[in-house]
Amino acid sequence: MFHQKQRGSYCRCHALNNLVGKEFVTLKEFDNYCNEYDKLNAFAIGASRNGHLFYNNGGTDNIFGYILKKKGIIIKMDHYDYYQRKKIKHCDKGTMGYLVYNAQHTYCVRIVNGEKWMIDSMKPSPKKIATMNIFERKGVGVICLTKE
């Protein structure tokens, strides 16, 4: 199973690569896409790459949706609010997995053969999980990604 380890402050890039299951976007590409996204949205350059929390206006309007679309993967995103406790559901059979974030870090839960694997660039190895309820707490945002 692909597990990209943490380099610098690129947890969003690593989470995306771990979710896709390969080095889908290089660090340099990630920087360039973040800068493009920031310019398109009139954000300070570096906001999408360096901020603890990121712009997330629902749907695919965030740095993850932008990069996936630029790289040819069309997805649907279901968001579970960062600010309140929420019940996370498995979206449907086309679910790739989940991006999980808090104020300090971003990682993913990838679906492989119907099993959920937490892949965190800061951890030594992927960990199989039985349920998403460990992410159902205030202060943790979850985005479910489903291929369209």
Structural domains of the chain ordered from first start: 11-147 (3.90.70.40)
How confident is the model at residue 65, as a pLDDT?
93
Give the three-state DSSP class for 42: coil
Q: Provide mean pLDDT across the span 114-123.
A: 95
For the record, the structure tokens of 56 come out as 């997330």
Sequence-ordered strand ranges (E) for 11-105: 75-80, 95-101
* Rounded CA separation 14/105 (Å): 11
Q: Across-strand partners of 115?
A: 112
DSSP 62: B
pLDDT of 51 higher than 80: no
Q: What is the pLDDT of residues 10-45, one digit of tens each?
A: 999 999 999 999 999 999 999 999 999 999 988 888
Q: What is the pLDDT of residues 19-28, one digit of tens each?
A: 999 999 999 9
The pTM (predicted TM-score) of the whole model is: 0.91
The CA-based dihedral angle spanning residues 19, 20, 23, 26, taken in that order and rounded to the nearest 10 degrees: -80
Q: Across-strand partners of 78?
A: 144
For the record, the structure tokens of 96 come out as 């790739």
Q: Across-strand partners of 98?
A: 109, 144
How many beta carbons lie within 10 A of that of residue 23, not counting itself? 15
